[in-house]
Every structure is written in structure tokens, then in C-alpha cells.
Structure 1
Amino acid sequence: MPSSSRDPSRPEGAFDVVLVGIAARGLAASARRAGLRALVLDLFADEDTRALASQVVQLRRRDSFALDPDDLLEQLDRHAGSAVPLVLGTGFEDAPELVAKLAARFRLVGSGADTLARLKDPGIFAGHLAALGIPHPRFFPGEAPEGVRALEKRVGGAGGGHIRRARRARGAGWYLQEFVDGRSVSALFLADGRRAHLLAFSQQWCAPSDTAPFRYGGCAGPIHAEAPLVHPLADALSRLAGAVGLKGLASADLILHDEGWHLIEVNPRPGATLDIFDAPPLPPLLRLHLDACAGDLPDLPLLVPGAGVEARAAGLFYAPAATVLRDALPDWAADRPAPGTRIAAGEPVCTVRAAGRDIAEARANLARRMDHLSRALNTASRAAAE
């Protein structure tokens, strides 16, 4: 059954914001930084999430890392109240019907079900991009034309674990997107339903496994973006925000290449780059999300590398084998499970964070910490087996 750190003496309405997602620790950290008392509901209730939030409710896990809609609605009815702003993180990309139910019963602050469907239905999304003249890969509902390289993706999929090279989609709920060579970059931005405002750019990379060659690995930023990208992209995202009613903090996944850029995907929610951008000189990103949803876009310059701007990197550390955590993880690890937690092979153990004077140093420090954690877990596993 779901567990809760609820204080029975705490009166209803004692929260400033309700945060929901598969893993909502990043949102909880942003809420703490903004001075907001947060009720958090996610699948893990990690130790650092409990330290950051006023209350944490662990939700029931379904189908690997999917939220159980019935349990979520039950726990929100029990703990949240309808007047407190509700902010959604990851886990709703393939569930516009659930988002519609949440909006009907609670004070949802962010993009609604219609916007989510327009952005996450690949055919509708490609149609919007084509109508707006925004460069994007071609979409194929069933089979790619001869000679066209393509990726198979799950409708509403997140995290990259569902993506593979293919010429034919496996059936309902899957589609093909033309493969575009280039460099993977993410743009963090805000939208108010009519306009968009760019905040920062980051680089992304994969952590491939035998069964998931495009599994999400991590991100680092801020990175420089040239004017030939920034101004057209800002205009494109504003036109897209107006067309689909996009609101709040969001990210755009791009491929940069010699001929320009392609927009691959838009995630209409706060995401993984909270770990690298929710820090000075930017204000708390959750506060910016709430303001943007109320129609107030900030007058902030684009965050770029330079004096006073620390480069940050964050990566997911995946368990190389089934393991049981015996000791507390280091302070530079986030999403920290409690000692004694069992983790299956290939599942994420934690997020590893690092910083540096530039992106290269931040990523080198991150790699050293990843290696340290790998060796420590391998040593612990061998000791447990003896």
C-alpha cells in the first residue's frame, strides 16, 4: 500500500503547492528554494524528497514506472484539497484523459489535456509544425519509405528507453519518426498560452543498454546557442504555444546540424534540467512556472556560459545488476533511495550531479562520480554475496 509521511495533526490547506510525477524530487527542491510548502506524490518517496517537502505520499507503481490513475486520484482526494495549485511532472505524457480528470477536480496549473494531446499525438504534432513552418522530422504512422532511416517511438513515451531504429512500427501506440543526424540539444523555455520565452540551452546524451540504445543519460548546461538558432526558435516556440495553448515551464528537444535545426519534441512540463538550471542566477523555476501559467512571462536574459555562471551536469545512474543498497548514497547523489531498497538491473538508482568552470569540467567531474558509485556498488554487491 502507498506510504505517507503525513503528520495527522497537520490541517488541510497547509500546503502552497501539490507536486505529482513519477519522480518529483526536482520539483520539490524548486519549491523549497521558492519558499513554498509542498505536498509531493510520486513513486519513490526518496530520502531527499522527504527532506525537501512538507509531506510525501508514495504512489502505487504500475507497469514498470507508470502511475496508477486510480491510486493517484484517491491519494489526491485524501491529501490535497481542490484549492491548492497542482503541478504535474513526468508521467502524464500518454495520459491526456487522466490530466482532464485532474483538471476537473483540482486546481491544475500548467498545460491541460488538449494541449498535451496536441503535442504528444505524433500526427497532430507534425501537422502543427508543418502548418507553422517549423522544421521537423517526417512522421510515418506505419512504415518508413525505402531508403529513409527512422526511429520507432511509443506514443507519449518519455526517457528514451522506448526508442529503437526500425523501418516498420510494431502496431497501435507506436509510430516512426525520421532519423536526423546531428547534435542533441534541449531548450528550456516558459510559455503563457500565447508566447514563449527562452531561458537556457543544454546538451543531452544517451546511456545506451542492450535493449534501449537511446535511453536517457543526462544533461549539462548552460551552453552557447548562436543567433541563427535562438531567434528563429524563440519565434517558432511562440507560434506553437499560441497554436496549442502551451503554458508553464517546458522544454524543446532539438537536433542541430550543418543546415540548421529540427524540432524533435516538446515536453509540456518541468523536466530533468531542473537539476542544472534551478540555481542562481536563475530564480526558482517552479515560481516562474506558476507565474507563466498566470500570464506573467519574465524579462530574463538567456542564460549563457560566462563569469558568475557555473556549469552543471546531471546524469542518471542505472544499476548494472540487481542490487540492494546497503549504505546511504553520497551527498552529490539525488533521488536517494533508503538503505535496504532493492533495485533491479537496468533500473535507475539515483541522479548524479556535478559542477565545473565549464561544460567539459562539469562532465568530467560527473564521469568520475559515476565511476566512484559504480565501484562502490560493485564492492557492496560482492561483499553481500560472500
Structure 2
Amino acid sequence: MPSSSRAPSRPEDGFDVVLIGIAARGLAASARRAGLRALAFDLFADEDTRALAHGVVRLRRKQGFALDPDDLLEQLARHVGPDTPVVLGTGFEDAPGLVARLAGLFRVAGSGAAALARLKDPFAFARLLGDLDIPHPRIFTDRAPAGMHALEKRIGGSGGGHVRRAAEPRGEGWYLQEFLEGHSVSVLFLGNGRAARLLAFSEQWCDPGEDAPFRYGGCAGPIQLEETLVQQVAGALSRLTGAVGLKGLASADLILHEGSWHLIEVNPRPGATLDIFDAPPLPPLLRLHLDTCAGGLPPLPLLVPGAGVEARAAGVFYAPAATVMRDALPGWVADRPAPGTRIAAGEPVCTVRATGRDIAEARAVLARRMNHLSRALGTAGRAAAAE
């Protein structure tokens, strides 16, 4: 049974892997599928994570959804020995210094602080892509050129909630990126510090919220792209992997338009597409991550639609109104909050999953399930507000 959120768990308890992130459920599910005993640290310690991991420690939350470095280091010192591999999920995009501290104390399996700094600093990243001849949008520290549509982004931001259209950035810590028309696609890949191996492509979309028009909505896959484009992306990501020493599972966000493509962002960690790709015919992805961090690069073929490959979709459901979780959520939901959890309007409630014979069917099922939750929790929110 999982430990309680602050229950002591000694390093000698025999965990195979330590998982850390804002929400560690996806990593915990991957660990379970790989047959690994996991100790998970995250901000929610939700019911799914408790069921999947062999131990769970709930971390203190700072403003928004941010990890508290002091609390994280304190809890790790209490519960984790120096030899258990530590896998980092979301929450470290703007904290290469913290990643460096963790790597000095524990056996971090994944890309190091130097790689993170080069990939998540937009100016260093753009220079690197230019040096490697990888197409990418232009970025600016001040007002965009006349006639150019641009997006304002926060340095180190993730999830899309920080992205807005703007003509100039608001100040320090923000920048402008050229807005490119096209289809938003993500590619899941492995890196061993020298080369990359593409695993699967997915499409992704936004779920606009108040003051967050580009908030992350979800993903679906696998999708199939033209072979020429696949080879171009594979070559680019191999060059990038070798340049920064990227290791383990990672994802790259692309914009496709009329046969051309641009690389928008690279996340050097396991991410949201675990929900759609950590299933047959692919082997357990966390096991692949650990093996690749050790230097291997398995000769896996690219996952594409076809016989024996189920289309999968996963979306974040955001609270339509302030609510208190009371009733059990359906079985097709993940990241389910514990009963009594208070959730503000616009905050993420859970992840909704769906499958289908193809992407269109999977997304249609997902949309129906989202609508079902919206009606159910909207009613619950109004009832809670009336009390």
C-alpha cells in the first residue's frame, strides 16, 4: 500500500526508482507497467498516484503550481538514499540550479542542469538552433517588428497558461516569440547524449481559459507524417541531442505548415504523452528512459497508425466553477483528487482519457467525456457556492 503523504519511508525500504514532479501520476503509472517499485513526490498525492506507487510524499506547494525547493530537498533527504535513480518530471523547467543541486546529492537519471539551461533559456536555445540549422521561430527581447504577430512567453514557463498574444513583453523574465500559423504536433523521442530515436508523433491542442488563450488542452496519437519530414526531424533532434547531451525520454513541439516545419520547444523529460504512448505495442517507457540514460538507444521503429495500434487521446479537464470533490469520478479519469479537495475555477481537476479506432474517434469520445464532466462538476460547483 502507498505511504501517507508525509509518512516516513527509509532509503532501505527498497524502492527501485524515485519520481518527482508537480504531478507524478503518469510517471507512477509508467513505473508500475515496468514492474518498478516507485516512491513518488508531487504536489497532490492524488488517489491514482497512491494506488500506482509504492510510496507517496506530498510536497509543499508555492504560489500557483510550483515546487518548494527547500521542502523538496528536506523530504528527499528524509526518504531517499544516494543510489536509487531519481527521475524528474514537470516543475523543473526554470530551475537548472535546483537540478544541479539534486544531481550533486542523488542519482538523477535524465538530462543534466547544463542541458536544461540551454534548452529552456529561449535566447540560448534560438542561438543553438541557428547553429545547428534547425528551423525555428524568431524571438525578441522588446517590441516585435511591424506587421509581425507575436506571442509573449515567460522564460521557463510550461503548460501554455503563460502564453498570450502581445506586441512587446511586459518586462524581465518575459520574451516575444514569432507566431507561426500551422498544425501543432509533438514528437516523443529518446536521447542517449549522442543521438536521438523518434518513438511517436501526436497532435496537441489548446483549451483556452480566462486570460490563458493558449492553455494546454490535450494530445492524441499516434499520427503519421510524411517520411521526408520525419527524417528531417529525426536528424535535427539527433544533432540537438549531441549538442546538449540530452538523455532519456523527451518531447519536442513542432509547428507544421504546408510541408515545412519549425521546432518550437524541447522538454527534456517524460511528459504528458505518457498517457497516450505508454501502452502496447511500445515497451514500458520509464524502463526505456532508464536504459537510455545508461547509454543505450533501442532500435525501435516509429509508432504509426495501423493494425494493432489503438488511437489514444488525453485531455486536461479544468474546473468550470469552484468546487469541492465529493462524488467518485468515472473510470476513464486519471489524476482523481481525494474527496473533500477544494478546486478553484480554472484549476486542473483531472486527466480524461479515451481510445478509438482512429484519432477522430478517440477525440470524439474524449469530447463527450469532457462535456459529461463539465455538466456534472458545473452543477456541483453551483451547489457548493450556494451552501
**TM tier relative to shorter chain:** over 0.9
Matched, 1:244 2:232: no
Q: Identify the residue that residue 266 of structure 1 maps to in structure 2.
A: 266
SS at match of 1:219: strand
Q: Structure 2 vs 1, CA of residues 148 and 331 (structure 1 numbering), >3 Å: closer, same or farther?
A: same
Identity %: 78
Measured in 2, the distance between the counterparts of 1:9 and 1:114 equals 31
Q: Identify the residue that residue 144 of structure 1 maps to in structure 2.
A: 144
Native 8 Å contact 1:154 1:173 kept in 2: yes
Q: Deviation at 1:331?
A: 1.1
Q: Deviation at 1:5?
A: 4.5
Measured in 2, the distance between the counterparts of 1:148 and 1:134 equals 21
Pairing 1:1-386 to 2, within 5 Å after superposition: 4-5=4-5, 12-384=12-384, 385=386
Deviations, residues 254-304 of structure 1 (Å, cap 9, x unaligned)? 000014100000000000000000000001100010011111111111000
SS at match of 1:22: coil
Q: Deviation at 1:218?
A: 0.2
Deviations, residues 151-171 of structure 1 (Å, cap 9, x unaligned)? 110001000000001111111
Q: Deviation at 1:127?
A: 0.5
1:89 maps to a residue whose letter is G
Q: Deviation at 1:379?
A: 2.7
Native 8 Å contact 2:222 2:304 kept in 1: yes
Q: Structure 2 vs 1, CA of residues 24 and 11 (structure 1 numbering), >3 Å: closer, same or farther?
A: closer
Q: Deviation at 1:328?
A: 1.5
Q: How many residues align?
A: 384
Q: Which runs of 5 or more residues in structure 1 are unaligned? A: none
1:134 maps to a residue whose letter is I
Measured in 2, the distance between the counterparts of 1:369 and 1:112 equals 39
1:23 maps to a residue whose letter is A
2:345 maps to a residue whose letter is A
Q: Deviation at 1:143?
A: 1.9
Q: Deviation at 1:380?
A: 2.4
Measured in 2, the distance between the counterparts of 1:316 and 1:75 equals 28
Native 8 Å contact 1:26 1:274 kept in 2: yes
Deviations, residues 98-128 of structure 1 (Å, cap 9, x unaligned)? 0000000000000010000000001100001
Q: Deviation at 1:6?
A: 6.5
2:91 maps to a residue whose letter is G
Q: Which runs of 5 or more residues in structure 2 are unaligned? A: none
Measured in 1, the distance between the counterparts of 2:175 and 2:212 equals 16
Q: Deviation at 1:330?
A: 1.1
Measured in 2, the distance between the counterparts of 1:225 and 1:9 equals 46
Q: CA RMSD in A?
A: 1.3
Q: Deviation at 1:339?
A: 1.1
Q: Deviation at 1:12?
A: 2.0
Native 8 Å contact 2:5 2:45 kept in 1: no
Measured in 2, the distance between the counterparts of 1:381 and 1:129 equals 46
SS at match of 1:12: helix
Measured in 2, the distance between the counterparts of 1:326 and 1:361 equals 31
**TM-score (normalizing by structure 2):** 0.97
Measured in 2, the distance between the counterparts of 1:300 and 1:9 equals 37
SS at match of 2:291: helix
Q: Structure 2 vs 1, CA of residues 157 and 5 (structure 1 numbering), >3 Å: closer, same or farther?
A: closer
Q: Deviation at 1:10?
A: 6.2
